[in-house]
Structure 1
Amino acid sequence: MSLIKMSIIFYTYLILIYFSQISLALDSISQSIPLKDDGNTLVSKDGTFELGFFTPGSNSQKRYLGIWYKKIPIQTVVWVANRVNPINDSSGTLTLNINGNLVLTQNETIVWSTTTKNSLGKKQVNPIAFLLDSGNLVVIDQKEAEKEKKSYFWQSFDFPTDTFLPEMKLGLDFRTGLNRRLTAWKSPNDPSPSDFSFGLVSHNNPDGYMMKGDKIFYRSGPWNGLHSSGSPQVRPNPIYEFRFVFNKDELYYTYSLKNSSVISRLVLNATASVRNRYVWIESAKRWEIYTSVPLDLCDNYAICGAYASCVISDSPVCQCIEGFEAKLPRAWNSMDWSNGCVRKKALRCEDKEKDGFVKLSGVKGPDTTYSWLDERIGLEECRVKCLDNCSCMAYANSDVRGEGSGCALWFGDLIDIRNFAAGGQDLYVRMDASELVEHVNVGSHKKKGVMVAVTVLLAVAALSGILILAWCYRQKSSNNVKDKSEFIINEDQYSGMQVDDGDLPVFNLSTIAKATNNFTVNNKIGEGGFGPVYRGILADEVEIAVKRLSTSSGQGLNEFKNEVKLIAKLQHRNLVKLLGCCLEGEEKMLVYEYMPNSSLDSFIFDKEKSELLDWSKRFDIICGIARGLIYLHQDSRLRIIHRDLKASNVLLDKELNPKISDFGMARIFGGDQKEGNTRRIVGTYGYMAPEYATDGLFSVKSDVFSFGVLLMEIISGKRSRGYYNQDQIHNLIGYAWKLWKEGRAIKLIDKSIEDTCFMSQVLHCIHVSLLCVQQNPEDRPGMSSVILMLVSDFELPEPKQPGFFSKDSSETESSTSKHLLSSTNEITITLLEAR
């Protein structure tokens, strides 16, 4: 071959490479440059998003024009143009005409196009289409493209499909009549619109509705300044910033990402009838669900009917508001709550002095279809306005930030109310004053009231003296007396064998004995601090686990009562389910759903079984435990501190999903309570937060500390206590802190997961663990922030020194020691300062 021919071939090759790179690097479409279905795509400037033709699924031949994430290996489509009219071959072409309209054709037949409105008020001279780094496909005059403030002729963000991206607006533009709402795909392989949608509705007090056809499926609740009142868990946090705008021009909701490294999207799913918020985990190469709605039964629209509140932890979940009763008692008692409740006593509107209001705290505001909003006035003026209108049934602050501001009034029946343990807002419901003890007019009985008050004060003083003497005697006579107030249930709340807990079944001793083969050793599957645990099979073939309270346990009775009352009210996929209890003679037993894979500690601390938990499964377990704690701390009706979170108290079902168990030590907090104090320290050595072990102070941050320890155990496969190196560091957290400071945290990783883990993700989790076990509670993140940290790759703050313990009571003279009660035995532990 001649030198000339070789040169021609070489330069031809370079030219082909050059033009192929140009085609792959396109970030715009003009009148002269169309986009064809020949493998060419339009890519955003930073390479995040890509526009092109795709086929959903492997069995379809249909072609769609869509936008997806370019850098994510799992094709994730966020927008589809021709949802209704797919193309049956690869003849599709996207062009931009002189009027600035995008036109999609199949063999010159139009299958989809835009309708451009010239917002500049003049002829479009040189339209051009860009795919922005946000995933927004826009058409703009080329002269406008370089301006800081751009005016688009058309943008895909105004016509979303099933996905809500950061910076996108969801809502209405009153100037143009545009209504931006999400509509789910019919199925994972069919982008055509389903009947499942979500959007905002412009009542005088706007609300968000998820619809199935023309029926409301879920309602988000009115915006209260921080979040939708029906989604208290979606609040400002280290990743997201939310914004709600309502004025004469627009009504919309949007969110942005504070950290550009986070990839997140919100998707409407018709198959599962949910709205999921996802975060991309780069190290694991998968999407992780951060939040979902509907969350539970109480999220179903108007499940309890009018004037009733849904309380997920109650049984039944629907409860009439104070002053109301079931409209149809027989149907109500049969769990048909659709007819709701009616007033026990009618209102007397002609005399507004005869009406008053009952305060409901921590609720989702009622349906706002018949509501009125005025952000200029305060709560007292709002109350007066409601009293002045016979149709007004309730009022509330429209903005709960700070001391509260603004006014929202509700007219007609109050529908779709639910209670939250944390979040929500106060709602004042109108009723006859005779139904309100706190509003009774006692003016004519003023003197009598004073006499009663004096009598009560004297009685209280006398009683206080008696109690003080009794306390002194009690302290002198016994050092082992239990402080029963540390538990949710008091002794006088529980008598004999009666369990006043609604629908919680009470099993006969003979039934339990038969199910467990008379508690034979072969049926024994574990031993807890309060007694053995047995496996059993009921007559209907249901497998159960029976926790039998040991008669020799000095601390088990109150914990048993505590667990019965508390866990019966909790419902979450990551909490163990209580099926019933048995109280007969000296026997006290709890009956749980059976967990075939026992507890987490039986896996991670066993050399052979630990091989069954690869990193992916361990990470799922970590996130499941975190979600269970979030439910306890903020999503359930009751704010609950577990106080004894550890590996042996995390059970695993047959799919190895984690379920938090053993609520004998748990405490309930009131809506505004942040911290508790106890003289009786209960828990397990190695998991207790330092402020709890030394001063008896506990809060949600105590559970966060325990979670941090547990997280480190799952990563390392090592128990929290033990000797770890020649420096005589006595526990895992101390060892982890030493390695972290030396830049050798990788040595913590369990060898059984080294081949299956993503090193960067595991190190990220170690970092999160150290943030959870910091010495000061104020420095530790809340569990909602913890789950965000776990599922995101954004940069974390540097951890401060942890609080950790030693069994050695002869450490330094400056060490502080305190006698503690473990959940398994009594042990003296010493708080050490970090080295």
Structure 2
Amino acid sequence: MEGLGILLVCSFLLSHLTISAAVDTLNTTQLMRDGDTIVSAGGRFELGFFSPGASRKKYLAIWYKQIPVKTAVWVANRELPLNDSSGFLKLTKQGILVLLDRNRRTVWSSNSSRPARNPVAQLLDSGNLIVREENDSNPENLLWQSFDYPCDTLLQGMKLGRNLITGLDRYLSSWKSPDDPSHGNFTYRFEVGGFPELILREGSVVRFPPGPWNGLRFSGTPELRPNKFFTVSVVINETEVYDTYELHNSTILSRMVLSQNGLWERLTWTDRTQSWEVFVIVQMDNCDNYALCGAYGSCNASNTPECSCLKGFVPQFPKNWDAKNWSNGCARKTPLNCSTDGFLKFSGVKLPDSRKSWFNYSMTLEECKNLCTKNCSCTAYSNIDIRDGGSGCLLWFVDLVDIQQFTENGQEIYIRMAASELDQIESIKSKEKERVRVAFVCVLTAAVLIVGLSLVLYLWRKRYHEKPGLLTYVPESSSNVKNQNEDLELPSFDLAAIVFATDNFSMKNKLGEGGFGAVYKGILKDGLEIAVKRLSKSSGQGLDEFKNEVIHIAKLKHRNLVELLGCCIQGDEKMLIYEFMPNKSLDFLIFDETQSMSLDWPMRYNIINGIARGLLYLHQDSRQRIIHRDLKAANVLLDSEMNPKISDFGLARSFGDKETEANTRKVVGTYGYMAPEYAIDGLYSIKSDVFSFGVLVLEIVNGNCNRGFCHPDHQLNLLGHAWRLFAEGKSFELVASAIRDTGNASEVLRSIHVGLLCVQHSPEDRPNMSNVVMMLGSQGPLPQPRQPGFFNERDLVDQSSSSSASQKLLSSNDFTIGMSEAR
């Protein structure tokens, strides 16, 4: 008996010594307790017990092994945590994983697809915890796998979807909070009533569907085109419906996550910052809110307002529509008559909600049309797959909702219309074509006349200078001008035309002056109003900054960026010609007590959202990621409808696809808007612009400059004042008196909250602009901000004085400044 006891003790100790070692398997003779882990063969993932955030509860989880931040990708007992460290995991002889508490009560258990003979549990380098027969490594014969029961994270190789034979539903659900991995408010799963669609819900409410899969992408995500980083695949057949993805570089740590505030985002680990950074957020703007514009309404994020009725439809309730309540959607102008109806093609759209549609992969588009024509209940048809010219048939039999209009990568849909409506639309098209033809002939004729007159004027100028008293014009070498303009790839304006347009740069046409030089209003001979930025000969900025602005803005096209029409480089003159903004710059309005009365809250909120969309375009959607580096109220111009346009790209920098941060020895920008890491250490990134945006938001809400802000109760700047009020639950006291009566309280408080998130001291804590746009346009919960950077106005002076800078930073809210030799 004594020998038997010793043998049992040794067996027990041996099992624990085995599991404590760096192994990837657990057998039926072993127990795994708190402190024990198993590690995948390649050292990528680890299974063990952990406590998330500030929680003291214990969970069995899988996390990344190679990084210092314990990031859980799967949690077993997310609804029933252990209260102490006495729980343990074991594998039964039936092949079932069982998690027991200190009283040996089952807290969580797996299941098994069939009886087991000699099972083992193994953690794979994919992050998948599997149970299999010891001598059978065939993935088709697994007894159980964690990949079938995802939490909030989708890893490479996981399936998000349904097995139509067994009924297994692999879906994601958000965590409740950073400290609580239990099921939160949001779920993301395939719904298969008609053509299968991924649907993100908050509770039972649909919040976001990315649209039907079209063979290349989900139709509502034109930005997720095939790329060099990962490939998304969707399988739809008789047995399965699922979405999965493959990373092209397996060394990169990247995952898809359903966040606690309902964002479907891809996160990538960055060694430099030792943190997870957002690579892309699938929801891009307000139009991604499900059915925002109602039935037969179309949403376009580039328009104001975003919603409009499809051609052939009018608002169901015009008064609601005028009040921006679009939920009731649109109604047909002309009722249908089944026997004579036709179809109107709409291009560049997100296909409507397809959950109640019918589909067939083998039909052609013509067969699809014939089938829809014969069924009076059929409202629209389209191809399923857009590859190789299109194939398959998708039919709708209900009102069409959740349509979006895109500038690129949209799809085509054919919507049923009454014959008379189609005739009317075709008549309008014919008239438009005739107008275009007449306009083309007129333009061609005018062009010939202009060329002729220009030739005569050129020959005359070769013999004479301009009249005395005007700006003397001595043409520069034509080849030199041509080469410079070709380098800039921008239309060239003639100096004489600019002199005429600005009345020889008269003071009455002067709009203002900055570090670059003076800006003048001008009117060209064709009546076009322009703004001319003329490089001053005494300017601290020279040809490099001039070219820099041209290079960064010439090819950018967005409704929230000022449009550069051309340039003029002749002799010593260097000028940029922009579209004219009649309502001047934002600082002229918000910082003037009288002028600010004309800006009610809806206008200010529209300006905030417009600036955010413009920055998002620069940071994510333009050909190269562009850091503005001098975003401030003076560099936001307002058009005739008070829409904001970001201007002044003289200090901008481009980033490549893989770049996230850069360092400069010459710090340039405006004190009051510069992020701490940039002003002190010369480090700039997209998060530097986010900081500037946050300052702008708080200034727009409050009506005062950040720099120079004073309060009788403290010495804090505007950021510090906003933070103090937020911490005391008094954020509404920050709001300018001019808009307190016109402000939507929830929008105002949300804007202040987002502004404080943007001005947090650490760049890693600040959201990117994708997040910002979503947070401004949604109603979900927001994370708590941390203390702002430059909380007190003395912060910058104190820090810069202790740096290795060779000269002090001189700055103001009105002028762009510089500091050389930053660390």
Shorter-chain TM-score: which interval? Answer: 0.5 to 0.7
Conserved 8 A contact 1:264-1:277: yes
Match of 2:214 in 1: 224
TM-score by structure 2 length? 0.59
CA distance in 2, matches of 1:287, 1:232: 24
The answer to whether the aligner puts 1:255 opposite 2:245 as a matched pair is: yes
2:15–2:31: 8 Å Cα contact kept in structure 1? no
Contact 2:585/2:636 (8 A) holds in 1: no
Q: Residue 585 of structure 2: SS of its match in structure 1?
A: strand
- 1:12 aligns with none
Find out whether 1:47 has 2:13 as its counterpart. no
TM alignment of 1:738-817, pairs within 5 A: none
* 3-state secondary structure, aligned to 1:652: coil
Query: What SS does the aligned partner of 1:651 have?
Result: coil
Hey, what does 1:205 align to over in structure 2?
Answer: 195
Query: Could you say what secondary structure the match of 2:388 adopts?
Result: coil
1:592 aligns with 2:586: yes
2:37, 2:87 → 1: CA distance? 13
Alignment match, 2:104: 108
Letter paired with 2:62: I
- For 2:386, which of 378, 393, 400 is the aligned residue? 400
Counterpart residue identity of residue 217, structure 1? R
Residues 314, 569 of structure 1: 8 Å contact kept: no
* Residue matched to 1:347: 336
Structural mapping, 1:385-464, within 5 Å = 385-437=371-423
Q: Which consecutive unaligned segments of at least 5 residues does structure 2 have?
A: 1-12, 459-474, 476-480, 492-507, 522-528, 537-545, 563-579, 591-611, 640-647, 669-677, 686-769, 771-823
How far 1:469 moved relative to its partner? 3.7
Asked if 2 retains the 8 angstrom alpha-carbon contact of 1:246 and 1:252, the reply is yes
Q: Tell me if the contact between 2:510 and 2:518 (Cα under 8 Å) persists in the aligned partners.
A: no
Q: Which amino acid in the other structure matches residue 628 of structure 1?
A: Y
Deviations 1:498-523 (A, max 9, x none): xxxxxxxxxxxxxxx9xxxx9999xx
Does structure 1 retain, via aligned residues, the 8 Å contact 2:630–2:651?
A: no
Supply the distance in 2 between the matched residues of 1:279 and 1:293 (Cα, whole angstroms). 15
- 1:454, CA displacement in angstroms? 14
Deviation of 1:406 after TM superposition, in Å, equals 1.2
Report the residue type matching 1:226 in the other structure: L
Q: Which amino acid aligns with 1:56?
A: P
Deviation at 1:274, TM superposition (A): 1.2
- Secondary structure, aligned partner of 2:217: coil
- Structure 1 position 374, deviation (Å): 1.1
- 2:224 maps to what in 1? 234
Residues 713 and 273 from structure 1, CA distance in 2 versus in 1: closer, same or farther, beyond 3 angstroms? closer
Q: CA deviation at 1:718?
A: 6.4
Residue type of the partner of 2:334? K
Give how far 1:356 is off.
Answer: 2.1
SS in 2 for 1:183: strand
Q: Deviations over 1:371-409 (max 9, x none)?
A: 111111122221222111111111111111121111111
- Aligned position for 2:61: 66
Look up the match of 1:509: none
CA contact (8 A) 1:548 1:590 kept: no
The answer to whether 1:144 aligns with 2:140 is no
- Residue 157 of structure 1 aligns to a residue whose secondary structure is helix
Distance 1:237 1:368 in 2: 26
Q: Which amino acid aligns with 2:341?
A: D
1:433 CA displacement: 2.5
SS of match in other structure, 2:417: strand
Structure 2 CA distance for partners of 1:277 and 1:151, relative to 1, 3 Å: same
2:807 paired residue number: none
Bigger Cα displacement from structure 2, 18-27 vs 65-74: 18-27
Relative distance call for 1:393 and 1:88 in structure 2 (3 A) is same
Q: Indicate the residue corresponding to 1:328 in structure 2.
A: 317
Aligned partners of 1:84 and 1:453: how far apart in 2?
62
SS where residue 586 of structure 2 aligns?
strand
Distance change in 2, residues 1:626/1:72 (3 Å):
farther
Which of the numbers 269, 274, 282 marks the counterpart of 2:263? 274
| Residues 313 and 95 of structure 1, relative CA distance in 2, 3 Å threshold | same
> Is it true that 1:181 corresponds to 2:181 in the alignment?
no
Alpha carbons 2:295, 2:402 under 8 Å: kept: yes
Q: 2:454 aligns with which of 475, 479, 502?
A: 475
Give CA deviations for 1:195-230 in whole Å, capped at 9, x if unaligned: 311011113311010011111011111000001111
Task: Compute the displacement of 1:150 (Å).
Answer: 4.3
Call closer, same or farther: CA 1:425–1:757 in 2, change over 3 Å: closer
Residue identity opposite 1:296 in structure 2: D
Pair 1:470–1:100, CA change in 2 (3 A): same
CA separation of 1:711/1:370 partners in 2, compared to 1, >3 Å: closer, same or farther? closer
Counterpart for residue 617 of structure 1: none
CA deviation digits over 1:611-631, x for unaligned, max 9?
Answer: xxxxxxxxxxxx999953365
Question: Within 1, Cα distance between the matches of 2:299 and 2:613?
Answer: 25
Deviations 1:420-445 (A, max 9, x none): 22212111111112222587599xxx
Aligned-partner Cα distance in 2 for 1:457–1:42 = 71
Letter in 2 for 1:96: L
Closer, same or farther in 2 for the Cα pair 1:47/1:325, shift >3 Å? same
1:319 to 303, 308, 327: 308
Distance 1:162 1:471, change over 3 A: same
**For the structure 1 residues 391 and 156, does the alpha-carbon distance in structure 2 shift closer, same or farther, using more than 3 Å as the test?**
same
Give deviations 1:330-366, integer Å, cap 9, x for gaps.
01100110000000001111x1xx3222222221110
Verify the 8 A CA contact 2:196 2:354 in the aligned structure 1. yes
Write out per-residue CA displacement over residues 511-540 of structure 1, whole angstroms, 9 at most, x where no aligned residue.
xx9xxxx9999xx654467459xxxxxxxx
Checking the alignment, whether the CA contact within 8 Å between 1:298 and 1:311 is kept in structure 2 is: yes
Q: How far apart are the structure 2 equivalents of 1:215 and 1:709? A: 36
Q: Is the 8 A contact 2:517 2:535 kept in 1?
A: no
If the length of structure 1 is used for normalisation, what is the TM-score? Answer: 0.58
Structure 1 residue 651, shift from structure 2 partner: 2.7
Matched with 2:288 is 299
Contact 1:356 1:439 in 2 (8 A): no
Which residue of 356, 359, 369 maps to 2:345? 359
Correspondence for 1:31: 28
- C-alpha displacement at 1:715, in angstroms? 3.7
Partners of 2:588 and 2:90 in 1: CA distance:
61
C-alpha spacing 1:214/1:355, structure 2 compared with 1 (3 Å): same
> What is the letter of the counterpart of residue 97 of structure 1?
T
Residue 438 to residue 428, structure 1, CA distance change in 2 (3 Å): farther
SS at match of 1:208: strand
**Hey, what's the Cα distance between the residues in 2 that align with 1:751 and 1:331?**
48
SS class of match (1:409): strand
Residue identity (%): 38
**For 2:613 and 2:335, how far apart are their aligned partners in 1?**
48
**Per-residue deviation, 1:268:** 1.1
Structure 1: gaps (5+ residues):
1-15, 443-448, 488-512, 533-546, 572-585, 597-622, 634-640, 665-682, 688-704, 721-749, 759-786, 788-835
Secondary structure of 1:392's partner?
coil
Q: Note the C-alpha offset of 1:134.
A: 0.5
Give the residue type in structure 2 aligned to 1:124. A
> 2:19·2:38 contact (CA, 8 Å) conserved in 1?
no
Q: How far apart, CA to CA, are the structure 2 residues paired with 1:454 and 1:227?
A: 34
Give, in angstroms, the shift of residue 273 of structure 1: 2.4
CA–CA separation in structure 2 for the residues paired with 1:684 and 1:629: 11
Partner of 2:53: 57
Cα distance in 2 for residues equivalent to 1:48 and 1:234: 27
The whole-number CA distance in structure 1 between the counterparts of 2:434 and 2:292 is 47
Q: How does 1:405-804 map onto structure 2 within 5 Å?
A: 405-437=391-423, 466-467=445-446, 469-478=448-457, 526-527=515-516, 530-531=519-520, 549=531, 588-592=582-586, 628-629=617-618, 632-633=621-622, 650-652=629-631, 714-717=662-665
Partner-residue secondary structure (3-state), 1:383: helix
Aligned residue identity for 1:651: D
**Pairing 1:244–2:234 present:** yes
**Cα shift readout 1:294-352 (whole Å, capped 9, x = no counterpart):** 32110001111000011111111100000000000001100110000000001111x1x
Distance 1:378 1:212, change over 3 A: same
